[in-house]
Every structure is written in C-alpha cells, then in structure tokens.
C-alpha cells in the first residue's frame, strides 16, 4: 500500500497499489479505466484481505466456538466498526450489512416504509435518482396509496435546495435523495435539504452509492436518518453494502426478512428478535466481502477526502477543457465546480454504445447506456449517454487518451457516414 505524508501520493505510487491498472486488454493496447461509477478497481490490500479470509480462517461468524470462527468474527466486526468511524456513526450497531445500495434502500422501504407510512402520505424524490432509489418507493407507493413528488433539476443538471423545499408539506414523510448523481455527477446540497425535511418532520434517506466513495459524508453532523452505499464503488468487493440507520429508527423497525441469526428465541408460535444490528442480518452474511470492505476503508482512510475531491475536480476541469470545443460533443450536467468525477456525454451522430465499442479498441473503458436512470435521460431528451468516470488513481493522461480516442471515433463514424452518402 502507498503510504502518504501528503494528501495524495505520487500518481505512479498510487497506481502501483491497483493491479487491475497494469494490463493490456489486447496486445499493445494498455488499459485506461474510466468506468469507476459502475465499479472501482481493488487495491492489493483489499485483495489480500479477502484471500486471507478464504485461505486462513474461512469459518462462519458468531456461531462457532473455535479459533477460526473467533478470528473470522473479530475481523468481520472490526470491519463494521471501521465503517461506523468512516461515516461518523455514533455506534457500530447502527451499521447493517446488506448486499449493496439497492438492497439497503429496499430494506428501508420494506421495513420502515411499510410500518410507518399510510395512504395519502408523500415521498419526495428528485430527477437525479438511480432506479435503486426510485423503484422501491414506486412499489411501496402502489401498495400503500402514497404519492411520489419529484424535485426538478435545472437545465444544466444542478439541484437547488429550494426545488425540494417547495414540495415539502405536512404530508411529506420521506425525502429520498442521492448524494451525487451517477449520470451527471451533480453533488446535491444535502445539509440544506436535510434541514428542510426535518423541519417538516420527514425522514431522510440518502443514496450514497456515489457520494460516500468520493467525498466525506458524516451522518452525525448532517443528521442523516438512513444512508445506503456499496463496497464495490469504493475499492471494496462486490456483493456487500451498508445501511446506516439512526438507532431510534432501527429499534422501531421490524425485520424485513426472517431466518437464522436474527432471533434470540424461537417457538412453534413465534420468535423474539435479536439485538441490533443482527435482527436485520438473517443467514450467513457476506463475511469475506465485509472484511474486504473493512480493508478498503482502511486504505481510503489514508487519504484526505478534500484532496480526493480536489483531484477529481482537477480531472474534470481538464476533461472539460479538452472536450468542450470538440464539434458535436455535448457534455451533460453542471460544470466541474458543481459535480464529482463524472463526465457524461452525448455526441451528435454517434450512438453511445458505438462510442464505447470504438473507445474499447483504444483501451479506454467507459460506460454507455441509461445507467439505471431512465427518467433523468428523459428529462434531457436522451435515449442513452456515454459516461467516463474518475477515481483517485486516474490522471490527466487518462483523459488525454479519452479525448484522443473520442476524436478518432468521431472521425471514423463520420467518414463511414460520408462514404454511405455518396
């Protein structure tokens, strides 16, 4: 692992921590990885932590009275404590392991929502939401007769706190909002929105899938009621995520699923629920993945979050300078000062899937499609977009390669179109 005396180490030293970056995707074509909003690469420390569990102490947690189980339990719960510190939770018991952000938001909808919402209540969302922070509320609204209201974004993709505030009423029970758009990179004004929501007595659910990975989010300071995020978007393994919930909410919620480990006593007639956090964690949990996420958090804790944000903003400023003057290229969303490390584009005459395919030939990995955000694409009149996304191990050289590859793709497509028109 790179050790840091300055906010971020030299790029070559940082890059050395990530074996996935050191490869050719085909002979002579080296990888430029710009698909971090979908999933980030893993440093050696995370890979080795998962390997160590699988090879040295691959036992179940909590249940075994033997050395391997005790070692697994210690590492597993240490990871929970690391998560709690990382997000500013008051106690580790407020951290629930889930399969990912989607699973965590569904847990809130199915448990808190089903218990406390009634017909006529309202849920406020925004145009920016990922399907994971939309469809669970749509399903609940249909089941219970709720109303969904949507705060609109500006034409440049920003979300103003007033847009949310205008929708709040005494009927508002939940405000569900992303911390950072996975399409536009828009950073939302969480502090102001949370304050407005709490003034109305509403509970705030934050989709932190992008936000937690790229900026400091302190649930205590912000007053967040529920925060959901995934390990694989912050250098951790796939298959594990987190639901943070304030103790008062979690204590009042029934389990969403039943099974082993989430009970203290079972009879033919019923069961008594276990203490937090275990009443929400039935069955064998994602042990290796949770340990890997703990290692990822230890790795990321070496870096000043402000320095990571500044680095990504520098990359976005560089990318905007390279591409804003390119004929036919439309950069979606706000300027670098209002967003994280995401650069989504619409290129006239070039379908995003064709662009991604052509860029892959040059070794540049991006994402093309609707990014599980169809309503947001509809808002901007798009069927799909092409998205390049950065993380702390990316450099300006990566975006130089992106811009060069985009230029080649545009010339190739237009040359083909010109030949067909003859």
| pLDDT range class, residue 415, cuts 50, 70, 90 | confident
User: Are residues 177 and 325 located together in one domain of the fold?
Assistant: no
Residue that terminates a domain, selected from 275, 300, 325: 300
Q: What is the mean pLDDT of residues 178-198?
A: 98
User: Are residues 354 and 288 located together in one domain of the fold?
Assistant: no
The pLDDT tens digits of the residues spanning 19-71 come to 999 999 999 999 999 999 999 999 999 999 999 999 999 999 997 789 999 99
User: Are residues 254 and 375 located together in one domain of the fold?
Assistant: no
> How much of the chain, in percent, has pLDDT values that exceed 70?
98
Domains contained in the chain, number: 2
| pLDDT range class, residue 11, cuts 50, 70, 90 | confident
Q: Give the whole-angstrom CA distance, residue 412 versus residue 404.
A: 12
User: Are residues 240 and 257 located together in one domain of the fold?
Assistant: yes
Residue 2 domain flag: no
User: Are residues 197 and 178 located together in one domain of the fold?
Assistant: yes
How big is the CA angle at 51 (ends 45 and 55), to the nearest 5 degrees? Answer: 145
Q: Which residues are part of the catalytic machinery?
A: 372
Residue that terminates a domain, selected from 300, 328, 344: 300
User: Are residues 268 and 179 located together in one domain of the fold?
Assistant: yes
Over the chain, what is the mean pLDDT?
95
The pLDDT value recorded for residue 416 is 83
Residue that terminates a domain, selected from 300, 321, 337: 300
Whether the CB-CB separation of 3 and 9 falls below 8 Å is answered with: yes
The pLDDT value recorded for residue 115 is 97
Phi, psi of 375 (to 5 degrees): -60, -35
Q: Give the whole-angstrom CA distance, residue 369 versus residue 356.
A: 10
User: Are residues 253 and 148 located together in one domain of the fold?
Assistant: yes
User: Are residues 148 and 236 located together in one domain of the fold?
Assistant: yes
Question: Which residue range forms the structural domain that includes residue 319?
Answer: 11-42+304-420
Q: Which of 7-11, 64-68, 221-225, 257-261 has the lowest mean pLDDT?
A: 7-11
Whether the CB-CB separation of 96 and 253 falls below 8 Å is answered with: no
Residue 78 pLDDT greater than 90, yes or no: yes
The pLDDT tens digits of the residues spanning 340-392 come to 999 999 999 999 999 999 999 999 999 999 999 999 999 999 999 999 999 99
User: Are residues 364 and 292 located together in one domain of the fold?
Assistant: no
Residue 291 pLDDT greater than 60, yes or no: yes
């Amino acid at each position: 692992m790179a050790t840091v005396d300055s906010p971020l180490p030299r790029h070559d030293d940082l890059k050395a921590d990530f074996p996935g970056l050191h490869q050719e995707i085909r002979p002579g074509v080296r990888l430029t990885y710009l698909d971090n909003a979908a999933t980030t690469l893993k440093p050696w420390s995370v890979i080795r932590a998962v390997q160590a569990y699988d090879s040295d102490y691959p036992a179940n947690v909590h249940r075994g009275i033997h050395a391997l189980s005790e070692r697994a339990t210690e590492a597993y719960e240490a990871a929970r404590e690391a998560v709690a510190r990382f997000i500013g939770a008051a106690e580790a018991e407020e951290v629930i392991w889930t399969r990912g952000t989607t699973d965590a938001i569904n847990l809130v909808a199915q448990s808190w929502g089903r218990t406390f919402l009634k017909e006529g209540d309202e849920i406020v969302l925004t145009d920016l939401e990922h399907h994971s922070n939309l469809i669970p509320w749509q399903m609940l609204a249909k089941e219970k007769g709720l109303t969904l209201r949507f705060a609109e974004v500006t034409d440049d993709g920003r979300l103003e706190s007033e847009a949310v505030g205008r929708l709040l009423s005494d009927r508002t029970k939940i405000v569900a909002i992303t911390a950072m758009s996975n399409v536009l990179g828009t950073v939302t004004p969480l502090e102001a929105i949370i304050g407005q929501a709490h003034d109305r007595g509403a509970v705030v659910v934050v989709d932190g899938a992008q936000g937690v990975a790229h900026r400091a989010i302190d649930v205590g300071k912000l007053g967040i009621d529920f925060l959901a995020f995934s390990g694989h978007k912050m250098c951790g393994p796939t298959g594990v995520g987190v639901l943070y919930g304030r103790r008062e909410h979690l204590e009042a919620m029934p389990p969403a699923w039943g099974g082993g480990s989430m009970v203290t006593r079972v009879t033919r007639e019923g069961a008594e629920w276990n203490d937090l956090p275990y009443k929400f964690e039935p069955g064998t949990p994602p042990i290796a993945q949770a340990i890997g996420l703990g290692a990822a958090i230890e790795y990321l804790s070496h870096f000043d979050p402000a320095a990571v944000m500044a680095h990504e903003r520098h990359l976005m400023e560089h990318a905007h300078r390279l591409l804003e003057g390119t004929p036919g290229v439309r950069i979606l969303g706000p300027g670098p000062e209002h967003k994280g490390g995401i650069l989504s584009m619409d290129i006239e005459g070039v379908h995003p899937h064709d662009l991604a395919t052509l860029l892959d030939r040059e070794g540049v990995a991006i994402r093309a499609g609707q990014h599980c955000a169809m309503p947001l694409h509809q808002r901007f009149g798009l069927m799909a977009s092409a998205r390049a996304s950065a993380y702390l191990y990316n450099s300006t050289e990566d975006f130089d390669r992106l811009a060069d590859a985009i230029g080649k793709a545009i010339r190739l497509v237009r040359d083909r179109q010109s030949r067909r028109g003859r």
